[in-house]
Structure 1
Amino acid sequence: MQQVSFIGLGVMGYPMAGHLASAGYAVTVYNRTRAKAQKWCQSYPGTQVDTPEQAGTRADIVFMCVGDDNDVREIAGEVLKGMAPGSVLVDHTTASADVAREVAEMARQQQVGFIDAPVSGGQAGAINGALTVMAGGHKQHFDTVLPALETYSRQAKLLGETGAGQLAKMMNQICIAGIIQGLAEALHFGQRAGLDCTQVIEVISQGAAQSWQMENRATSMLNHEYDFGFAVDWMRKDLAIALAEARKNGSTLALTALVDQYYADVQKAGGGRWDTSSLLTRLS
């Protein structure tokens, strides 16, 4: 039974760690809020520890799913103190490619492998074990962790060297931002035109306009339901990372920058914790 640890039991990490336990891995968990780790241990077979370093000492593979670059640096620095040479650290946090490279170097000095592996699919994807994992790092380390990744993903792919996973996640968020804005404008237009937008969506979702956002968010948008899903605050964090990377590599993200400002409007209206589909509220 392979020993793994999971650090960060938020809306994504909690079910991801659960899939590992259900698949037969011996799972150790750590969460800053101890009550969350205690609750997880009541739902799944596993062990709770008090520090990231302790999580590192108990694992062949350590998975992290935390908040932002600063969290990644802090937690990685602690967990690596306990990790043995030959083990692998996997970071599922959506963070910058720069911090991925920093942590990879920290891990290398400890003779520990590192994979940056942000995910897409949201809370539902995590619960259903249907996430997409975008990975960067060495193939040897990726091959080591792939069986574990497959317990909660439907697609896990190594896309290049360290940082490639984070760069791919930036592309993912760029696409999503534009698609949601387009869907919001279409619904706004249809409502102003006096159409039954529910019926229209039933029709156009079968054609070239179809998207995951249309299939999963159009109805809730029409019902003004936003108290779920991926929060605007987190999307702005992700878009800031993408825009910063674009400034460095010289790419033009005009639409992304515009949608980011639209999300700032939603935040000002008190919607920081609303789902990203709340872009429609600016237009209604």
Structure 2
Amino acid sequence: MKAFLGMGLLGSNFVKAMLKKGEMVQVWNRTAARATALEAFGAKVFTDVADAVRGADVVHLVVKDDAAVEEVLEAASAGFEPGAVIIDHTTTTADGAVARTKYWKEKGFTYLHAPVFMGPANALESTGFMLVSGDQETVARLEPQLATMTGKVLNFGPEEGRAAAMKLLGNAFLVTLTAGLADTLSLAKAMDVPLDDLSTLFHSWNPGTMLHARMQRMSKGTYSDPSWELNMARKDTGLFIKAAQAAGAPLAVIPSIAAEMDKWIARGHGSDDWTVIGKDAVTL
């Protein structure tokens, strides 16, 4: 028997996928209506979180943050079966994941933080990526059942909290990517470039293919053999800003990047590769 706590878009689709595979799942959600909606799919619904975990040897949860995880687990703990396994898919701090692993172990339970790079559709289709780290015997024991929930389980080794850190890093990239894309779309509008043309450009020229090479170049910390000089990159950045200002188009991140470039140019790095602006992030 499994229990699942938190019936948001991700949790509810995880449950639907489990039910399709013939598993028995007990569910709970703070807003009861979201849990009740799963009855039609075969889930057993509880309004009390401690009741929802009774009889379950594995308890999954996806809630908002560290505070919500701790609140829900404490409330549920009155119903935990001896030796129950807690698998937490919530995006949290690394420190929180480390502390909870220790806390629940001392109480006789296994806690594994397993955040995901999965949208609701992935949860329903059992595709995407699930991240784990920590005690490798625990990971090895639980990985087969986790693999049924996702396309791939990524094991980041024995360090507690590493999976949480990797999830935050991935989300940080997604946030900055989206903000940068918003600026690009705003600039396209400012220059009267149709979105279809921009789509054609990115379909043919995929900058995503440059990510690994760019990261490798930055991590080496060598910038004296430029492929794009910082001075030239700053010149182009000025053109972005000028075009946007002329059209009254908002830019969220490009002005901040320009300011950072100016700092590095003032330090004498204008002739270096423009990736030098990330030097402090990759060198001690």
Bin for the TM-score computed over the shorter chain: 0.5 to 0.7
Q: Does residue 138 in structure 1 map to residue 164 in structure 2?
A: no
Match of 2:94 in 1: 97
Match of 1:181 in 2: 179
Does the 8 Å contact 1:114/1:137 carry over to 2?
A: no
Match of 1:253 in 2: none
Does the 8 Å contact 1:136/1:165 carry over to 2?
A: yes
Equivalent residue in structure 1 for 2:193, among 178, 192, 195: 195
Match of 1:14 in 2: 12
Instruction: Kindly state the Cα deviation for residue 184 of structure 1 after the two structures are TM-superposed.
Output: 1.5
TM-score relative to the length of structure 2: 0.68
Cα 1:20/1:146, change in 2 over 3 Å: farther
Instruction: Kindly state the Cα deviation for residue 104 of structure 1 after the two structures are TM-superposed.
Output: 1.2
Q: State how many pairs are aligned.
A: 212
1:119-134 mapped onto 2 (5 Å cutoff) = 119-134=116-131
Name the % identity: 24
CA RMSD of superposed structures (Å): 2.2
Does the 8 Å contact 2:97/2:113 carry over to 1?
A: yes
Q: Does residue 147 in structure 1 map to residue 127 in structure 2?
A: no
1:1-284 mapped onto 2 (5 Å cutoff) = 3-42=1-40, 44-160=41-157, 161-210=159-208, 282-283=250-251
Alpha-carbon distance between aligned partners in 1 of 2:104 and 2:201, rounded to the nearest angstrom: 51
Measured against aligned partners, the alpha-carbon deviations of 1:193-213 in whole angstroms (never above 9, x if no partner) come to 2222212212323333248xx
Alpha-carbon distance between aligned partners in 1 of 2:142 and 2:136, rounded to the nearest angstrom: 10
Higher alpha-carbon Rg: 2
Larger mean Cα displacement after TM superposition, 76-85 or 109-118:
76-85
- SS of equivalent residue, structure 2 residue 197: helix
Moved over 6 A (4+): none
Alpha-carbon distance between aligned partners in 2 of 1:59 and 1:167, rounded to the nearest angstrom: 29
Does the 8 Å contact 1:115/1:162 carry over to 2?
A: no
Alpha-carbon distance between aligned partners in 2 of 1:108 and 1:140, rounded to the nearest angstrom: 14
Instruction: Kindly state the Cα deviation for residue 10 of structure 1 after the two structures are TM-superposed.
Output: 0.5
Alpha-carbon distance between aligned partners in 2 of 1:99 and 1:81, rounded to the nearest angstrom: 21
Alpha-carbon distance between aligned partners in 1 of 2:49 and 2:134, rounded to the nearest angstrom: 22
Instruction: Kindly state the Cα deviation for residue 282 of structure 1 after the two structures are TM-superposed.
Output: 4.7
Cα 1:137/1:82, change in 2 over 3 Å: farther
Alpha-carbon distance between aligned partners in 2 of 1:48 and 1:69, rounded to the nearest angstrom: 24
Instruction: Kindly state the Cα deviation for residue 67 of structure 1 after the two structures are TM-superposed.
Output: 1.1
**Which structure 2 segments of 5+ residues have no match?**
210-248, 253-284
Alpha-carbon distance between aligned partners in 2 of 1:206 and 1:124, rounded to the nearest angstrom: 27
